[in-house]
Amino acid sequence: MNSVYLHVAAPVIAAALMNGFLFSQRLSIAKKTNPNPYIPPGPIVGGIWFVLLGILGYVHFCLYKKAGYKFTIGCITIICFILYCLAYPIITSLSPNPNVFFILNLAALWFALITSLRIIEEDASLMIYTLPLLAWTSYVNIVTV
């Protein structure tokens, strides 16, 4: 998998399939939380995550290529964070406890910070790509507390 297109498309397609499944099953996070006027509607949040997952896929490719097409700790951290992001809507949709939403948001912020630090440690020039991820996860945590 040495193509940048595959690295970017894989997490985006996985998110589209997962969200399509949730939509087809009529599972929704919105049912479990109070409406928040500071959080955009679901399709916009989904679009933001498509972009963020695409960026993570690109950064993964850059680290993977820099290491001679071998996995590094940064690559593995990015893959784990992408899997967390894919599991997040499923967990929050199926959980009977609405408070799990807030706990998982905080965990996403910490995971994003750890992922960003791993990326920066391996290639500081990729720091610019971590800023949207950190900005979004910080914003969501601020407005949902």
pLDDT at 8 over 90: yes
**Are the C-beta atoms of 86 and 14 separated by less than 8 Å?**
yes
State yes or no: pLDDT of 122 exceeds 90.
yes
Q: Which of 4, 12, 111 has the alpha carbon at shortest distance from 58? A: 4
pTM: 0.90
So what's the pLDDT on residue 92? 83
pLDDT of 34 = 59
CATH architecture, domain defined by 4-144: Up-down Bundle (1.20)
Position 2 scores a pLDDT of: 80
CA 52/CA 136 separation, integer angstroms: 9
- The predicted-structure confidence for 24-55, as pLDDT tens digits, reads as follows 877 655 555 557 889 888 889 889 999 999 99
Which pLDDT value is given to residue 33? 56
* pLDDT digits 0-9 by tens, 69-116: 999 999 999 999 999 999 998 888 888 787 888 899 999 999 999 999
Number of Cβ within 10 Å of residue 97's Cβ equals 9
